[in-house]
Amino acid sequence: MLKSNKLCEHFSPEYGNAETINTAFSVVVPVYNEEASVADTLDRLQEILKSAGCKYEIIVVNDGSTDRSGEILRSRRDIRLFVHNSNRGYGAALKTGIRHAKYPLIVITDADGTYPNERIPQLVAIASEADMVVGARIGANVCYSNFRKIPKWFLIQFAQWVTRCRIPDLNSGLRVFRKDIAYQFINILPDTFSFTTTITIAMLTNNYVVHYEPIDYRARVGKSKIKPIRDTLRFIQIILRTGVYFAPLRVFLPVAGIFFAGFLITLFQDIFIRENLTERTLILLVTSTQIGMFALLADMIDKRSSK
């Protein structure tokens, strides 16, 4: 997999200018049972982009909705509509939209009215200086559940350890990225809500420039599709998998270090207390060595496949 020579970009509130937008872009909006908000969201999106003089298209993917969302979308002539016959997941809907996008720049946003879509022209303008621009939900007005903040804090800490980059918002659903870069990772991007988490880690560990722009975040219209416990466990799985894929040393060497520390402790006990070398000590030594060698081998394979 090809890697850019660019380094990861940390948050800076003063970055870019939205005065002129010369790049055409495709806006991908996944929809699943959003009858209460999807029409207003699309109307507002069209108004914003037309008034900004953007060259764009809006791709809506109806991901197996069972409410009136499909009826509402079929009545519109100002969008490109794609339909999943069954609910395949948030990430699957985004991938369908990305595959059918005709412009080189992709914008993703939600249909539930939570994201400030009026910021899209500015984010697109900033994208001329970055490989991905993330609308980070750290603005002055963020309506976000405190219950969801707790597991996300731990996930972000682990993701920052894997990527060695500061991540103000790991899984924001308002972001801009290049289609060709997304295609490099399309086979590992999940069909679930973990799509945004995975593409963030994938781009940071491959040294692409990721810029975080502070945005507000409104209370959603309708019921959230997020299931906190299930999706938190899924996020952990995705971060581990992506970390193993792109940064194996960061994942496996600490584990090898724990086993080696256990080996040193039991070796000390064997020498000064038991006065005999035990099987436990040998097993810990072999285990730490094997994990360490596996980490080095995985890192070598990753580096060779990156050329």
Residue 264 maps to a domain: yes
Of 211, 246, 281, the position where a domain reaches its end is 246
- CB-CB neighbours of 286 under 10 Å: 12
Residue 1 maps to a domain: no
DSSP 8-state class, residue 52:
T
Lowest mean pLDDT among 12-21, 91-100, 224-233: 12-21
**Domain co-membership, 253 together with 242:** no
Tokens, residue 124 = 């697109």
Residue 307's pLDDT is 46
**Domain co-membership, 211 together with 277:** no
Residue 225 maps to a domain: yes
Residue 52's pLDDT is 93
What is the average pLDDT score of the chain? 87
Hunting for tokens 């894929």 — which residue is that? 245
Of 229, 246, 263, the position where a domain reaches its end is 246
State pLDDT tens for residues 256-300: 999 999 999 999 999 999 889 999 999 999 999 999 999 888 888
**Domain co-membership, 33 together with 97:** yes
Question: pTM to 2 decimals?
Answer: 0.81
**Domain co-membership, 254 together with 149:** no
The range of the structural domain enclosing residue 170 comes to: 25-246
Question: CATH number of the domain that 204 lies in?
Answer: 3.90.550.10
Residue 220's pLDDT is 64
b/e per residue 187-198 (b: at least 16 CB within 10 A): eebbebbbbbbb
Residue 134 maps to a domain: yes
Residue 167 maps to a domain: yes
Residue 3 maps to a domain: no
**Domain co-membership, 255 together with 234:** no
Tokens, residue 231 = 């999706």
pLDDT (mean) for 64-89: 97
**Domain co-membership, 157 together with 173:** yes
Q: How confident is the model at residue 247 (pLDDT cuts 50, 70, 90)?
A: confident
**Domain co-membership, 234 together with 268:** no
Q: How confident is the model at residue 231 (pLDDT cuts 50, 70, 90)?
A: low
**Domain co-membership, 267 together with 146:** no
Of 199, 225, 246, the position where a domain reaches its end is 246
**Domain co-membership, 229 together with 281:** no
Q: Phi/psi of residue 67, each to 5°?
A: -100, -155
**Domain co-membership, 286 together with 209:** no
**Domain co-membership, 140 together with 156:** yes
* Cα distances (angstroms) measured from residue 116 to each of 85, 108, 137, 139, 152: 29, 12, 10, 11, 21
- Domains identified in the chain, total number: 2
Q: How confident is the model at residue 304 (pLDDT cuts 50, 70, 90)?
A: low
For residue 28, give the nearest of 83, 108, 88 by alpha carbon.
Answer: 108
Query: Per-residue pLDDT for 305 more than 70?
Result: no
- CB-CB neighbours of 50 under 10 Å: 11
State pLDDT tens for residues 34-57: 999 999 999 999 999 999 999 999
pLDDT (mean) for 224-244: 70
Residue 20 maps to a domain: no
Residue 8's pLDDT is 46
Report the distance separating Cα 94 and Cα 28, nearest Å: 7
Residue 8 maps to a domain: no
**Domain co-membership, 291 together with 211:** no
Q: Angle at Cα 177 formed by Cα 115 and Cα 95, nearest 5°?
A: 85
